[in-house]
């Protein structure tokens, strides 16, 4: 089965998304925004996984996507909880203010 | 003979036994008993030596090698083919030395009992003396170079111990003594260094250190054929059947063209022998106080006087002469070294004689005189006059021991006189202190300074008479012992110069004749300063004659100084011994059995308050020593009557049996008269110069006053600046370099600077660098900056605050890039 | 496709039982009153015990489950034992600390067990997916535990950092998996091996980038330089029992995954064809990723050791020390990248992975020794720490040798073991690791390794100096549970050091042959 | 061949039994603890004497072996392989001999943390004996490193003011060297497929004739040689790697110094003989001149530097550098004489320098200072002690008749005839003999001779005996002399005479040293006998590597 769109396009797109995610982590200072950027990275991976599954014509890739989504969900749960906790203490979720420890 | 010679370990063991006994029991024994023990040990050793002398004479002078019981091999390493046994050699040379050492030693032991009376470390003194005898006897009896070296170093040790014996004297004297002791040891070590190197060379040249192998017959002057060499049984890896050092030398010389390989290089045999003998010469200059290593001997006078007499005049310092004599084969094979030995000896003789002219200390004069006389001996053996050198060694042992003991008697008397006078003045100082270490409360007074003396002849007649005999003997006045031996040496020089045409012979002759003149001059100056004239201090005026235990040895030695020359005049060694022994025994009994005779000697002096009574222990010494002497005398007389016979012998003939290349007697009437003239001339000149008063105003020497002799005197008085030169050239640079090395280089630089700055600080800095600028800085801050830039680029309006997470992210990104780059690099390269 | 026989659930029992135990504990704990939390502790310990027994029972077996996604072999067994022992000790030492610092909340124990189960799964991963899931199972509870000291800012901060960076790194891991999948069409490690060897991949670049991203993701977990910066902050901020546990389990898990990946899937990954071999000739070939790992290892060893010198806080010191030890383990990983190619009589190349096997064994023994040593060291640090989380400076150890000789003695042995002094486990581990590194032909790396261990001696000795040679108050709270745990760790460290046979025989079973 | 001799295990492990006994005893029973330690060390001594009795001197190879597998991994087996040969038996004995002396001295002087102290001492003994008997590289390395730890603690806990610095320096320095050796060992194990020293040696010897030799390349062999050499050189220490030594020695407690000088430094020299010479004969031959130069520098430098010291202990410490220079020189003379001498000198140095440190310790315990200038005239107040100390000093100086001479002489003799070093080396080495006299007599003079200096009772700067007017040395003689006389007569009265007589344990220790010095000095034959076969074999093996044109043709070999 010939895919409608060549796999390469998907891969490039996912790479762009991934790099956007990385840059997002890099430049954002709001913890939630960073978190969202990480999600973007994961989803970029998901995209390429699906594309590759298409390419290889097996279900492995799509299977992995489900796991990744689950993991992302678990991370979100824990991550948001942590953000809430730190917000209670610090009244801020600016990651640039996380500098209590220096060494 | 084997049986008699196998007693030789006893000669060594006896003094050691005496030393050990006194070491452990000394604190429980009385002074007399300690002295008796030590003296008996020495006397018994003498007796054994005497018996062996008889034995060896009776058996045709055949040398015997003895393996002592228990300690057979000393350094025995089969895999390295090293077998150095504790092996002893009895031959005429070693016996001569044994007799001198034990004979003179016994007398000095006896003397020391009186001299050291009251010293808090009386027992230890005798321990050291006995120890010294033991080591000296090892030196002379060993059959290999290493045993000789043991003795060599051992006597050095004892010398060190005895020079520093009064290490705790007050007023800084103790430090002076200690430093003198140290100086002696270290300078001797320099000599030992040469000797050790010689030994190494000998071993790798010959594969053995033995003089002669057992059963190897000496072959003299290449005339007798080398004997068959005994091959020992046993497969222990030692190469057997090799020859001893001397026989091998002869063999190689005869063969010619032998090359010695030392592993990394090769040398012709003759060169090797020259090297060996030159290194040996270093040892000789150390031990026998020759230029350039003589500087320790004058300082060594810090020791008690018996020590000076025994070690630093009669025995130890002659070890170098013995060494060269023992190695006559080698020196014969190395003319260059022999010439050097000659020149060194002759130069030393003159140089020391000159310095002796300007000394004030009674013992220093004798010390330089000893150096000078040792120069005579060394020059003699250097020119090939081995017997002459040995002859002078023996006679010098007699008269120089006599002179030292005499000076000891004087010093002793001066100290007591000083104390006596002092007690008169300050009668409140009632406390009777005795000995040498406890004069702390008295003002500084130098009992050895001749300027403090004068007129002692009247106060100390025995001392004076014996001292006079010694002086005349030393000056070489006919017919005293010194005349014969000195003449013999000069004769050798004369022959070498005019018959063999050796250049060093001329040099030697000239130097020695001049030295002989100096000798007579400085000795007579001493007589004038010490004994003649009027007392110059209260101490001198109050001096009294010393006790019999001190004067008897003086008498005996005086007798020997008179008759000692007979050893080498063809009267025969036996007759000399008989005469000597009879004289000695007679002396004993005269002095003790006939108090009236003693009064005859002493009576003209100040009224003697109390004559020391004969304490039982003292009697024991007298009996013991006398018995030993009697025994040996009897043996000499009895042996022939038992059927054995020995021919009339001179020392030369006697030594010929063990010293190859011993040259015969050289009586040269012309030279004898010349030397005698020089000696008498020296005395007369001194008499003229130092009359009427030996000292000018301000206690200055007459020569010091006269402008024409003033520089020379000052030069002599300053000892030619040897010490200063050494101090400036060696000692100070060494010390400075040591301090620099230790404190600057090793500690400040290597230990502190290098290890702290370079290692530790670098380490720390590296750690800090990696921790702070790199880990938290370049990585952290650097990425922070990049992050800031990126953030600014991304969100221009926002100001970025410090934040770690971001920089961590950046670092990780950097890592990602890094990892990818490294991984993809090969691919990219393709 | 759903072949139940192929599931072979039995093989997963060790990890499964622990995970199950954690779930049960979570529920049971609800009914345990706050002041009786020792019940929870006891239950947790029982859970670990059960899992331990199950592991022991299945130790000899070699099987796969879930269609090759799960592997149970000697490697798994040994890793499981290490994790379980660390968990057991981690639980034991935590209780009193939690009690006295007032954060003895029940969820601590199930979270810990969950994380341990994650580490165990990681050691059993036979597929990249399993690996990913196990990693998250290991990590997510640790994020929570790091922030367990609520509402302490430092603790929360460390949790936040750990979480954000952890998630970020998982992004790379996932993307890496995606690329691997894209390159090979499979995520099964055995399949990957086969296809790599047969050169059945789309493009080497894709595979290389995938490998790189996987290395980044796992490198973060094991705190390899330059992915290490979170370590000191998190170690310092997290409650000490968590740090203690984390320093061991996260590392064991991370290395389990890394070793699995590198030795099972990619050991023979070279770009281009194998070099020619003459008959009867053996040459060593280096995998494409070896240099990268070696450089990371060198950087990690150098940086970790040097930076540790500058530390004054024991937790930070141990953090950098653990970074440094990651370096040594990375060295073993690098060594696993060398394989031998022997030509048979016709010159056909035959591959031998014996060097990789050796490196694997070495790493395992190293991990075993490291686990006991490090957790013991943290336990002592915990004893010295005060209730308000201060007292973690090196100076606080001064005089400990006089007041608490047992703790100080144990600590000294841990330090010596970390230096690598013989008769301690650390030495045996280093011995094997260096040995395999040399065997693999990485002499320079081994040289860096030994030199940095000298550097490490400096800061480890400082701890000993503080305890024994300097004077101080030496205050410490040493309840019996903690003391017992320290004693146990000491004995274990020494046993591994003196009788390495115990671990060596377990490691002996580790091969790369059968399950492929 | 039977390789299950238990005797050697008994010797090796008997100190551990002592430690176990100490550990099960109560912490507070200090009185008993020290006796148990003493007895334990004496038992080890007794066992090692039995071992000596069982030793067959005629055999060159390893004997009384015990071989068993320790653990294995993959193809490599690490074995527990212990045994002695002529090179090691005397050092085992030395260790067993020095340890009781150290403990004897400590009996009344160590009062702090007694149990720990003696445990460390015995652990040290265990490790040191282990180094000498281990015949497996792994095992050797284990003992080698383990010996570091107790010494570190001994210096660090019971040392003087700068103890921490010294201890850490000691540890790091030694470890830096040994870690390179670890690499070399690992490489060897990998290359030869075994860690068994004898097996590797056999392999090396077997490859002697082959063109490529035992190692892949000369550079490899050089690096391996250096790996071992640097480790040993630091331990010895060979100049210029000596900087840790003065620190460690000066700061260590007396027993620590005694053991450090007595045995620990011998670990290095022993390693040089056993491993550098045994496993790398070719490289040893090649590098011998260079190492010889280092040894010579060490001899002269050590002697020179020690002369300028103001601290007795430091002086003795530097003297070790000089003395061990001789040992290294002998070893790299590469002939039987040199190696025999060096091996004996290891023992001798242990005895003499151990004795010197005992002496310094005894002085320190009385005066609480180590400054040379603070002493003077000790001979007068402590005659027995001084007499024994004199013998020890002389033995260190190499006086014939005492042990030091036999070793030094044989070493220098060997050096002079060495096929690789030669007379020039012997020449410079012999200069060291002179310099030894210089610094030792300096020490002896300043401390034992000269006028007696009574210390001031009060704390504060050292001064001469208090005189009424505060007399200055060299001036005010009368006042001063009165004070001196007073101080002399009544020492013990005011302020107390610090020079208390020797206690029985100190006396015993010193006498043991002195007796050993005399026995070896007068009759070294049995000692050479024990090592002869092994040394001969080593030298013969080395001779194969020495180019024929440079081989020493000693005369008797013709």
Q: Which of B611, B642, B677 is the last residue of a domain?
A: B677
Q: For residues C170-205, b (16+ Cβ closer than 10 Å) or e, as one string? A: bbbbbbbbbbbbbbbbbbbbbbbbebbbeeebbebb
Q: pLDDT, tens digit, for every residue of B361-407? A: 889 999 999 999 999 999 999 988 888 888 899 889 989 999 999 99
Confidence at B348, pLDDT banded by 50, 70, 90: very high
Q: How far is C415 from chain A (nearest CA, A)?
A: 22
**Counting one residue from B and one from C, how many pairs have CB atoms under 8 Å apart?**
98
pLDDT at B787 over 60: no
Q: Which of B795, B803, B810 faces A99 most closely, judged by CB atoms?
A: B803
Mean pLDDT, chain C, as a whole number? 87
Per the CB < 8 Å rule, is B755 touching D169?
A: yes
pLDDT the model gives residue C376: 92
C→D contacts (Cβ < 8 Å), by residue, are 354, 357-358, 361-362, 365, 401, 405, 416, 419, 421-423, 427, 431-432, 434-435, 438-439, 443, 446-447, 450-451, 453-454, 457-458, 461-462, 464-465, 468-470, 499-501, 504-505, 507-508
Interface check B797 vs A, CB under 8 A: no
The answer as to whether C40 is a domain residue is yes
Which residues form the domain of C183? 7-508
The whole-angstrom separation of Cα D316 and Cα C250 is 53
Confidence at B755, pLDDT banded by 50, 70, 90: confident
C65 burial (CB, 10 Å; 0-12 / 13-18 / 19+) is: buried
Q: Could you tell me if residue B231 is left (phi over 0), alpha (psi between -120 and 50 degrees) or otherwise beta?
A: beta
pLDDT the model gives residue B255: 81
Q: Which two tokens stand for residue D109?
A: 């002087």
Return the bridge partners of B701, or none: B695
Chains linked to C by 3 or more Cβ pairs within 8 Å: A, B, D
The whole-angstrom separation of Cα B119 and Cα B114 is 10
Mean pLDDT, chain A, as a whole number? 83
Interface check D225 vs C, CB under 8 A: no
pLDDT the model gives residue C102: 83
Per the CB < 8 Å rule, is B826 touching C288?
A: yes
Place of tokens 């056909």: C348
The whole-angstrom separation of Cα D402 and Cα B342 is 35
Q: Which residues of A touch B810 (CB under 8 A)?
A: 26
Per the CB < 8 Å rule, is C292 touching B819?
A: yes
Type and span of the H or E element at B74: strand B73-77
Q: pLDDT, tens digit, for every residue of B488-497? A: 888 888 888 8
D122 burial (CB, 10 Å; 0-12 / 13-18 / 19+) is: buried
Q: Are D171 and D148 in contact (CB under 8 A)?
A: yes
Residues in chain D predicted with pLDDT less than 70, given as ranges, are 1-2, 27-28, 73-74, 455-496, 548-558
B735 burial (CB, 10 Å; 0-12 / 13-18 / 19+) is: middle
Q: Which two tokens stand for residue B438?
A: 């406890």
Task: Judge if B468 and B590 occupy the same domain.
Answer: yes
Domain A7-91: assigned CATH number: 1.10.287.3510
**Counting one residue from B and one from D, how many pairs have CB atoms under 8 Å apart?**
237
The answer as to whether C316 is a domain residue is yes
Q: How far is A60 from chain B (nearest CA, A)?
A: 26
Per the CB < 8 Å rule, is C157 touching A75?
A: no
Task: Judge if B624 and B773 occupy the same domain.
Answer: no
Interface check D167 vs C, CB under 8 A: yes
Q: pLDDT, tens digit, for every residue of D366-403? A: 888 888 888 888 888 888 899 999 999 999 998 888 88
CA nearest to C271 within chain B? B827
pLDDT the model gives residue B577: 58
pLDDT the model gives residue B240: 44
Least confident range of B208-212, B762-766, C355-359:
B762-766
Q: Are B352 and B512 in contact (CB under 8 A)?
A: no
Type and span of the H or E element at B73: strand B73-77
pLDDT the model gives residue B583: 57
pLDDT at C234 over 60: yes
Per the CB < 8 Å rule, is B801 touching A26?
A: no
Q: Could you tell me if residue D460 is left (phi over 0), alpha (psi between -120 and 50 degrees) or otherwise beta?
A: left
Q: How far is C495 from chain A (nearest CA, A)?
A: 35
The whole-angstrom separation of Cα B580 and Cα B564 is 8
Interface check A24 vs C, CB under 8 A: no
The answer as to whether B804 is a domain residue is yes
Chains linked to D by 3 or more Cβ pairs within 8 Å: B, C
Q: What are the domain boundaries of chain A?
A: 7-91
Q: How far is B800 from chain A (nearest CA, A)?
A: 8
Q: Are C119 and C141 in contact (CB under 8 A)?
A: no
pLDDT the model gives residue D243: 84
Per the CB < 8 Å rule, is C468 touching D153?
A: yes
Per the CB < 8 Å rule, is C422 touching D156?
A: no
Q: Structurally, how many domains does chain B consist of?
A: 2
The whole-angstrom separation of Cα B102 and Cα C462 is 67
pLDDT the model gives residue D291: 93
Q: How far is B764 from chain A (nearest CA, A)?
A: 16
Q: In this structure, how many other beta carbons lie within 10 angstroms of the beta carbon of residue D475? A: 8
The answer as to whether C516 is a domain residue is no
* DSSP H helices in B594-668: 595-602, 616-641, 651-656
**Counting one residue from A and one from C, how many pairs have CB atoms under 8 Å apart?**
146
Mean pLDDT of C428-439: 89
* DSSP H helices in B384-460: 386-425, 456-459
Least confident range of B377-386, C133-142, C300-309:
C300-309
pLDDT the model gives residue B216: 67
Q: Which of C457, C464, C504 faces D71 most closely, judged by CB atoms?
A: C504
CA nearest to B174 within chain D? D450
Per the CB < 8 Å rule, is B805 touching A95?
A: yes
Interface check A94 vs B, CB under 8 A: yes
Q: Which residues of B touch D433 (CB under 8 A)?
A: 189, 192-193, 196
CA nearest to B156 within chain D? D399
- Of the candidates B50, B154, C34, C59, the one whose C-alpha atom is nearest the C-alpha of residue D522 is B154
The whole-angstrom separation of Cα B156 and Cα B317 is 10
Mean pLDDT of C242-252: 91
Per the CB < 8 Å rule, is C427 touching D145?
A: yes
The answer as to whether B337 is a domain residue is yes
pLDDT the model gives residue A42: 92
Angle in degrees, 0-180, between the axes of helices D281-307 and B732-739, rounded to the nearest 10: 110
Q: Which residues of C touch B808 (CB under 8 A)?
A: 161, 165, 229-230
Q: Structurally, how many domains does chain C consist of?
A: 1
Which residues form the domain of B396? 2-232+241-421+446-677
| ipTM of predicted assembly, 2 dp | 0.83
The whole-angstrom separation of Cα D256 and Cα D272 is 23
Q: pLDDT, tens digit, for every residue of D463-479? A: 444 333 333 333 333 33
pLDDT the model gives residue A99: 65
- Of the candidates B161, B371, B373, B378, the one whose C-alpha atom is nearest the C-alpha of residue B277 is B378
Per the CB < 8 Å rule, is A41 touching C168?
A: yes
pLDDT at B326 over 70: yes
Q: Are D414 and D536 in contact (CB under 8 A)?
A: no
B689 burial (CB, 10 Å; 0-12 / 13-18 / 19+) is: middle
The answer as to whether C330 is a domain residue is yes
Q: Could you tell me if residue B384 is left (phi over 0), alpha (psi between -120 and 50 degrees) or otherwise beta?
A: left
Per the CB < 8 Å rule, is D157 touching C468?
A: yes
Q: Are B452 and B446 in contact (CB under 8 A)?
A: yes
C→B contacts (Cβ < 8 Å), by residue, are 160-161, 164-165, 168-169, 172, 204-205, 208-209, 211-213, 215-216, 219-220, 225-227, 229-230, 233, 271-272, 288-289, 291-292, 295-296, 302-303, 306-311, 455, 458
């Amino acid at each position: 089965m010939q895919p409608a769109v060549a796999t390469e396009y998907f891969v490039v797109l996912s790479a762009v998304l991934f790099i956007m995610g990385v840059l997002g982590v890099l430049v954002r200072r709001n913890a939630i925004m960073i978190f969202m950027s990480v999600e973007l990275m994961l989803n970029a991976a998901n995209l390429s996984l699906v594309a590759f599954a298409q390419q290889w014509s097996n279900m492995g890739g799509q299977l992995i996507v489900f796991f990744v989504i689950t993991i992302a969900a678990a991370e979100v749960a824990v991550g948001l909880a942590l953000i809430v906790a730190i917000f209670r203490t610090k009244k801020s979720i600016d990651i640039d203010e996380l500098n209590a420890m220096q060494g | 003979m084997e049986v008699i010679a196998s007693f030789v370990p006893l000669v060594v063991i006896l003094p050691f036994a005496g030393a050990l006994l006194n070491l452990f029991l000394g604190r429980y024994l009385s002074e007399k008993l300690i002295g008796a023990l030590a003296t008996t040990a020495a006397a018994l050793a003498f007796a054994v030596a005497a018996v062996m002398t008889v034995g060896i004479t009776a058996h045709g002078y055949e040398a015997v090698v003895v393996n002592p019981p228990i300690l057979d091999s000393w350094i025995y390493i089969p895999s390295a083919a090293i077998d150095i046994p504790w092996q002893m050699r009895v031959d005429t040379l070693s016996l001569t030395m044994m007799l001198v050492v034990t004979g003179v030693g016994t007398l000095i032991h006896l003397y020391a009992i009186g001299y050291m009376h009251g010293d808090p470390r009386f027992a230890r003194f005798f321990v050291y003396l006995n120890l010294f005898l033991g080591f000296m006897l090892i030196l002379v009896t060993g059959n290999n170079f290493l045993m000789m070296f043991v003795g060599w170093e051992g006597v050095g040790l004892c010398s060190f111990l005895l020079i520093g014996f009064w290490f705790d004297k007050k007023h800084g004297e103790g430090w002076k003594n200690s430093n003198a002791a140290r100086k002696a040891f270290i300078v001797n070590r320099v000599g030992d260094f040469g000797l050790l190197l010689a030994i190494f060379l000998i071993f790798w040249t010959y594969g053995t250190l033995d003089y002669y192998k057992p059963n190897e017959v000496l072959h003299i002057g290449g005339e007798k054929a080398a004997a068959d060499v005994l091959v020992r049984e046993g497969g222990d890896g030692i190469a057997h059947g090799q020859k001893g050092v001397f026989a091998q030398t002869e063999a190689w010389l005869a063969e010619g063209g032998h090359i010695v390989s030392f592993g990394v290089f090769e040398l012709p045999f003759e060169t090797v022998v020259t090297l060996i003998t030159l290194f040996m010469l270093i040892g000789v200059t150390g031990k026998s106080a020759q230029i350039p290593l003589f500087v320790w001997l004058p300082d060594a006078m810090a020791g008690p006087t018996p020590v000076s007499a025994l070690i630093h005049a009669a025995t130890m310092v002659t070890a170098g002469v013995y060494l060269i004599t023992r190695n006559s084969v080698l020196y014969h094979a190395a003319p260059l070294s022999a010439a050097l030995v000659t020149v060194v000896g002759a130069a030393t003789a003159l140089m020391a004689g000159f310095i002796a002219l300007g000394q004030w200390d009674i013992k220093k004069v004798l010390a330089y005189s000893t150096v000078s006389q040792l120069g005579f001996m060394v020059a003699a053996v250097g020119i090939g006059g081995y017997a002459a050198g040995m002859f002078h060694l023996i006679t010098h042992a007699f008269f120089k021991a006599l002179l030292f003991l005499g000076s000891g008697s004087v010093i002793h008397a001066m100290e007591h006189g000083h104390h006596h006078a002092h007690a008169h003045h300050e009668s409140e100082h009632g406390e009777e202190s005795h000995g040498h270490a406890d004069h702390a409360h008295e003002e500084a007074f130098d009992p050895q300074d001749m300027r403090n003396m004068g007129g002692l002849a009247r106060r100390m007649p025995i001392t004076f008479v014996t001292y006079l005999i010694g002086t005349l003997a030393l000056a070489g006045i006919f017919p005293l012992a010194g005349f014969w031996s000195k003449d013999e040496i000069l004769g050798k020089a004369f022959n070498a110069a005019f018959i063999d045409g050796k250049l060093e012979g001329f040099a030697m002759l000239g130097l020695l004749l001049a030295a002989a003149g100096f000798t007579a001059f400085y000795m007579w100056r001493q007589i004038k300063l010490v004994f003649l004239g009027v007392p110059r201090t209260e101490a001198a005026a109050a001096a009294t004659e010393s006790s019999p235990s001190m004067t008897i040895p003086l008498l005996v030695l005086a007798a020997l100084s008179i008759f000692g020359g007979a050893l080498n005049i063809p009267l025969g060694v036996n007759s000399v011994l008989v005469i000597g022994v009879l004289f000695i025994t007679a002396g004993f009994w005269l002095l003790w059995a006939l108090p009236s005779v003693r009064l005859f000697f002493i009576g003209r002096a100040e009224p003697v308050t109390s004559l020391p009574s004969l304490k039982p222990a003292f009697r024991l010494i007298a009996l013991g020593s006398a018995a030993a002497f009697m025994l040996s005398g009897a043996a000499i007389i009895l042996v022939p009557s038992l059927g054995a016979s020995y021919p009339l012998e001179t020392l030369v003939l006697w030594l010929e049996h063990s010293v190859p290349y011993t040259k015969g007697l050289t009586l040269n009437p012309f030279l004898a008269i010349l030397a005698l003239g020089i000696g008498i001339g020296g005395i007369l000149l001194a008499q003229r110069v130092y009359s009427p008063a030996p000292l000018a105003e301000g206690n200055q020497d007459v020569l010091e006053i006269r402008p024409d002799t003033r520089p020379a005197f000052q030069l002599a008085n300053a000892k030619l600046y040897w010490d200063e030169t050494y101090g400036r050239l060696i000692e100070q640079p060494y010390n400075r370099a040591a301090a620099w090395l230790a404190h600057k280089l090793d500690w400040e630089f290597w230990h502190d600077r290098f290890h702290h700055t370079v290692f530790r600080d670098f380490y720390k800095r590296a750690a800090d660098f990696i921790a702070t600028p790199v880990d938290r800085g370049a990585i952290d801050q650097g990425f922070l900056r990049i992050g800031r830039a990126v953030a600014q680029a991304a969100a221009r309006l926002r100001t970025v605050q410090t934040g770690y997470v971001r920089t961590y992210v950046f670092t990780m990104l950097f890592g990602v890039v890094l990892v990818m780059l490294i991984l993809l690099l090969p691919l990219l390269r393709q | 496709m759903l072949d139940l026989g192929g599931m072979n659930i039995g093989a997963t029992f060790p990890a499964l039982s622990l995970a199950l135990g954690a779930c049960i504990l979570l529920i049971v704990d609800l009914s345990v009153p706050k002041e009786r939390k020792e019940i929870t502790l006891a239950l947790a310990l029982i859970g670990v015990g059960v899992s331990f027994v199950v592991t022991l029972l299945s130790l000899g077996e070699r099987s796969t489950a879930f269609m090759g996604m799960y592997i149970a072999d000697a490697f798994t067994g040994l890793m499981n034992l290490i994790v379980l022992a660390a968990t057991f000790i981690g639980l034991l030492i935590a209780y009193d600390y939690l009690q006295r610092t007032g954060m003895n909340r029940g969820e601590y124990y199930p979270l810990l067990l969950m994380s341990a189960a994650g580490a165990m799964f990681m050691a059993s991963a036979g597929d990249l997916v399993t690996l990913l899931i196990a990693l998250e199972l290991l990590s997510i509870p640790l994020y929570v535990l790091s922030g367990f000291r609520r509402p302490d800012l430092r603790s929360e901060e460390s949790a936040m950092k750990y979480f954000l960076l952890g998630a970020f790194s998982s992004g790379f891991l996932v993307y890496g998996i995606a690329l691997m999948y894209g390159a090979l069409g499979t995520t099964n490690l055995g399949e990957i091996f086969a296809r790599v060897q047969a050169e059945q991949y789309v493009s080497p670049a894709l595979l290389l980038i995938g490998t790189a991203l996987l290395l980044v993701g796992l490198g973060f977990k094991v705190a390899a330089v330059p992915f290490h910066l979170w370590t000191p902050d998190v170690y310092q901020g997290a409650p000490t029992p968590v740090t203690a546990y984390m320093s061991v389990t996260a590392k064991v898990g991370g290395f389990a995954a890394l070793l699995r990946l590198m030795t099972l899937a990619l050991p023979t990954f070279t770009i281009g064809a194998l070099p020619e071999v003459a008959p009867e000739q053996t040459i060593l070939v280096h995998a494409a990723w070896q240099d990268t790992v070696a450089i990371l290892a060198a950087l990690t060893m150098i940086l970790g050791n040097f930076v540790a010198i500058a530390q004054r806080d024991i937790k930070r010191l141990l953090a950098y020390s653990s970074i440094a030890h990651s370096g040594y383990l990375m060295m073993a990983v690098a060594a696993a990248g060398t394989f031998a190619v022997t030509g048979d009589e016709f010159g056909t190349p035959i591959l031998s992975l014996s060097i990789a096997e050796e490196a694997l064994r070495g790493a395992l023994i190293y991990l075993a020794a490291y686990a006991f040593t490090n957790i013991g060291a943290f336990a002592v640090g915990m004893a010295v720490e005060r209730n308000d989380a201060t007292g973690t400076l090196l100076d606080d150890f001064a005089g400990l040798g006089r007041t608490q000789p047992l703790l100080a003695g144990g600590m000294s042995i841990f330090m010596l073991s970390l230096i690598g002094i013989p008769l301690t486990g650390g030495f045996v581990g280093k011995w094997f690791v260096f040995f395999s590194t040399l065997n693999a032909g990485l002499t320079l790396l081994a040289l860096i390794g030994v030199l940095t261990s000298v550097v490490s001696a400096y800061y480890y000795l400082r701890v000993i100096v503080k305890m024994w040679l300097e004077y101080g108050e030496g205050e410490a709270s040493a309840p019996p549970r903690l003391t017992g745990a320290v004693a146990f760790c000491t004995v274990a460290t020494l046993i591994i050091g003196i009788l390495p046979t115990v671990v060596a025989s377990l490691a002996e079973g580790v091969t790369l042959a059968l399950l492929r | 061949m039977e390789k299950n001799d238990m005797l050697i295990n008994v010797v090796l492990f008997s100190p551990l039994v002592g430690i176990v006994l100490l550990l099960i005893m109560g912490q507070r029973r200090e009185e008993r603890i020290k006796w148990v330690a003493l007895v334990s060390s004496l038992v080890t001594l007794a066992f090692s004497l039995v071992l000596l009795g069982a030793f067959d001197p005629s055999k060159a190879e390893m004997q009384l072996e015990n071989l068993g597998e320790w653990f294995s991994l993959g193809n490599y087996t690490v074995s527990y392989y212990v045994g002695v040969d002529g090179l090691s038996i005397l050092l085992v004995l030395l260790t067993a001999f020095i340890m009781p002396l150290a403990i004897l001295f400590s009996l009344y002087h160590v009062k702090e943390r007694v149990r720990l102290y003696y445990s460390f001492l015995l652990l040290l003994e265990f490790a040191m004996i282990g180094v000498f008997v281990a015949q497996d590289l792994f095992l050797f390395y284990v003992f080698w490193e383990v010996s570091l730890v107790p010494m570190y603690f001994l210096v660090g806990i019971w040392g003087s003011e700068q103890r921490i610095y010294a201890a850490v320096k000691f540890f790091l320095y030694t470890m830096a060297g040994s870690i390179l050796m670890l690499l070399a060992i690992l490489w060897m194990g990998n290359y030869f497929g075994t860690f068994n020293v004898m097996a590797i040696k056999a392999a090396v010897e077997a490859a002697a004739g082959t063109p490529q030799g035992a190692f892949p390349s000369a550079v490899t062999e050089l690096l391996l040689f250096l790996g071992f050499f640097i480790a040993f050189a630091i331990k010895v220490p060979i100049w210029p790697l000596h900087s840790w030594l003065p620190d460690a020695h000066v700061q260590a407690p007396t027993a620590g110094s005694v053991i450090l000088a007595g045995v620990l430094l011998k670990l290095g020299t022993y390693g040089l003989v056993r491993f550098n010479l045994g496993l790398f004969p070719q490289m040893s031959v090649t590098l011998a001149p260079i190492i010889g130069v280092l040894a010579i520098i060490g001899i002269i430098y050590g002697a020179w530097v020690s002369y300028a010291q103001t601290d007795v202990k430091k002086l003795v410490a530097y003297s070790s550098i000089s003395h061990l220079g001789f040992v290294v020189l002998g070893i790299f003379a590469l002939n039987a004489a040199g190696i025999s001498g060096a091996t004996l000198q290891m023992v001798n140095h242990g005895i003499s320098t151990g004795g010197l440190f005992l002496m310094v310790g005894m002085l320190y315990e009385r005066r609480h200072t180590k400054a040379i200038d603070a002493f003077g005239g000790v001979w007068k107040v402590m005659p027995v002690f001084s007499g024994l100390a004199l013998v020890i000093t002389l033995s260190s100086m190499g006086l014939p008749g005492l042990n030091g001479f036999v070793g030094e002489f044989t070493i220098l003799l060997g050096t002079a005839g060495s096929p690789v070093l030669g007379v020039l080396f012997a020449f410079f080495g012999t200069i060291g003999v002179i310099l030894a006299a210089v610094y030792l007599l300096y020490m002896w003079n300043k401390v034992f001779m000269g006028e007696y200096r009574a210390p001031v009772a009060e704390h504060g700067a050292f001064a001469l005996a208090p005189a009424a007017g505060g007399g200055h040395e060299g001036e005010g003689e009368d006042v001063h002399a009165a004070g001196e006389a007073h101080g002399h007569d009544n020492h013990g009265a005011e302020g107390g005479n610090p020079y208390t007589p020797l206690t029985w344990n100190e006396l015993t220790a010193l006498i043991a040293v002195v007796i050993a010095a005399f026995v070896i000095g007068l009759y070294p034959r049995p000692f050479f006998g024990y090592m002869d076969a092994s040394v001969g074999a080593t030298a013969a093996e080395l001779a194969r590597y020495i180019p024929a044109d440079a081989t020493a043709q000693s005369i008797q070999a013709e």
